Structure 1
């Protein structure tokens, strides 16, 4: 039996040969053929369909050679496989076997696949991150590692919090708005998270779902929230200042407006609402490339939020962290050590009731910052005891348009083109623009 601490090239060859023999057995050969046929030439599907089967066989095989039967065993095996002398020796072995044609072509292919699988697992998939992540169901304790619900009630009750807040964003509102200052109550407040140079998108929203008075008898207000660039002396900033003077509907905040600062934009907009506009029944948060039907939205929330329900609704995801080393969305174990995310609503468009808005903001003061805004809100929601509600009328992807197909749509992603948004919205809301 091989010793995991002192494996040789010959022992590694024997182990991988056993793996190949298993792959060639009748039970597995047909399953792998079906998986390869389903994957075709797409690498992503290969990773989803073929690689997991090979990994499972490898795990079952290495147990017989002294490696642990737990999931950490394959990590130890891949580490040894990629250690200098073993990996080089394995490549030399493959080269000579192929050169002397003593190995059938199919077997060479299978050995190469096994090697590639191990390489992909170890280097590109961040296998150790996946395997050593903690159980979300059993061990989730995102900081603060306490029950924050009683503390949130203290804050909302006007009392001094018994625990010091750990998360307060040190940014200033460079502009303000009096849209809520004279109103005792709003039906809906629309928060549009916009990028600095998205002038066309803001213009389209002002002409469509952000136009005040579009739903008779309902009090609806809209504001755009922006960050700043590296300099306040740019053409873009000057155009924004003219836009603010004209429409008076932009709140600009002095944080750098970049993709990974979206959490700051979302939470600063929540702070503004908490401090300046806590009188609305509902709050819609939306990106500036969304189609929104305000009428459908109000119809839905009125039926879904009876009483004082803490509604947090939109397109709900249940997924795991991305550990691929080459990914823009990679999250390390140091940043987030658990094996899955809490349920969260995609940040493209979501709705909070008044009570949820206040609980989410107060709770965020005691929840460590995270750079993805939708994930962070999902964490805060879990910490304060609000369960996200999935509504199929919110579309994370762009729903293909048809007049009838959009009758019940609340939100759809992918409307960054001004003319397209106006055209679709006008067709679905005939007569609204004339109000």
Structure 2
């Protein structure tokens, strides 16, 4: 009888310990809804963001700034155009940049009467004098390289993306849309333009509800979106984030950084809101944080592929907007030529 009672008591204690652990964990690691008021400020920053957008002194001082120096600063557009694409590239990726210049980065499709495209490359500093000299020659030849004085490493991607956004705001005054893309992505410019006609229902035709949504919100933040994404907690994972660094169950919804599309309104609102969001080393998550603070909702399309979409003839790519995994320059060129 005593043994049975002891087992029952032990079982009850075990359940109590599990319950207490769950409660404490819940208290410590809040849901993503708490993110909006606790990461990083418990203040409403909307007024200050509006002041920054209007080039006024903000009521609240920004907690985060992207004030790196532009070592290479090419022109953007000097006349009305539809789109600027800024390719996030590594300093050593000469061949990838050249493949893009020879393919989708050099298309001259006329869209609604405007020259539709300007492609630029965003780089950091390599720290290697010989490599920097080669980049200078490349820049002088093509006039399409933006370079800043931060170290070009994977975990400085947030700096790279935000400096690209800052460049776009300061230099690309005649553009309606901005695309931020990695240099191992294939882009179909024609399909990208089709997507802009119908972002909520692509590849089907635009509906009145689509137009109403965009007209009412005014913001386009689109690509391959993740809804209710959770942080990776396994230390061996490339995107590992500790509970101390980010103490929430899930991230705000965000668009993968491989191909990100913003209209001018969204670019301005997200960039200026980011100045009040604690910097985070995963750039696409960080942009999602700023978008969440700004109350901007991502738009998702399956035609932005975060894996490599196998090319099996024209029909296999007839609706593809972007595809990841083009590490081989010849592969990029051959795919593009096959779709001409």
1:269 and 2:164 are equivalent in the alignment: yes
Indicate the structure with greater helix content. 1
Q: Which residue of the partner structure matches residue 29 of structure 2?
A: 133
Q: TM-score, with normalisation over the residues of structure 2?
A: 0.86
Q: How does 1:12-411 map to 2 (within 5 A)?
A: 63-65=12-14, 67-70=16-19, 72=21, 132-138=28-34, 140=36, 141-180=38-77, 182-183=78-79, 185-215=80-110, 217-219=113-115, 220-231=117-128, 233-234=129-130, 236-304=131-199, 306-307=214-215, 309-318=218-227, 319-402=229-312, 403-411=314-322
Indicate the structure with greater strand content. 2
Q: TM-score, with normalisation over the residues of structure 1?
A: 0.68
Cα gap change, 1:64/1:406 in structure 2, threshold over 3 Å: closer, same or farther? Answer: same
Q: For the pair shown, which has the larger CA radius of gyration, 1 or 2?
A: 1
* Deviation at residue 400 of structure 1 after TM alignment: 1.5
Could you list the runs of 5+ residues in structure 2 that have no partner in the other structure? Answer: 1-5, 200-210
CA distance in 2, matches of 1:174, 1:311: 30
* Deviation at residue 313 of structure 1 after TM alignment: 0.3
SS in 1 for 2:59: coil
Cα gap change, 1:405/1:215 in structure 2, threshold over 3 Å: closer, same or farther? Answer: farther
* Deviation at residue 69 of structure 1 after TM alignment: 4.8
Contact 1:313 1:388 in 2 (8 A): yes
CA distance in 2, matches of 1:205, 1:135: 41
Q: Which residue of the partner structure matches residue 47 of structure 1?
A: none
Residues 371-429 of structure 1: per-residue CA shift (max 9 Å, x gap) = 0000000000000111011111111111121221100000010112111111111111x
Residues 218-258 of structure 1: per-residue CA shift (max 9 Å, x gap) = 42111101001123x12x22221111111110011100000
Report the count of equivalent residues: 316
Residues 90-123 of structure 1: per-residue CA shift (max 9 Å, x gap) = xxxxxxxxxxxxxxxxxxxxxxxxxxxxxxxxxx
* Deviation at residue 131 of structure 1 after TM alignment: 8.8
Q: Which has the higher contact order (CA 8 A, sep 6+)?
A: 2
* Deviation at residue 63 of structure 1 after TM alignment: 4.5
Q: What is the RMSD of the two structures over their aligned residues, measured on CA atoms?
A: 2.4
SS in 2 for 1:178: coil
Contact 1:190 1:286 in 2 (8 A): yes
Tell me which stretches of 4 or more aligned residues in structure 1 moved more than 4 Å.
61-64
CA distance in 1, matches of 2:135, 2:192: 29
Cα gap change, 1:242/1:341 in structure 2, threshold over 3 Å: closer, same or farther? Answer: same
SS in 2 for 1:174: strand
Cα gap change, 1:256/1:151 in structure 2, threshold over 3 Å: closer, same or farther? Answer: same
CA distance in 2, matches of 1:340, 1:246: 45
Could you list the runs of 5+ residues in structure 1 that have no partner in the other structure? Answer: 1-13, 19-60, 76-127, 431-435
CA distance in 2, matches of 1:222, 1:415: 18
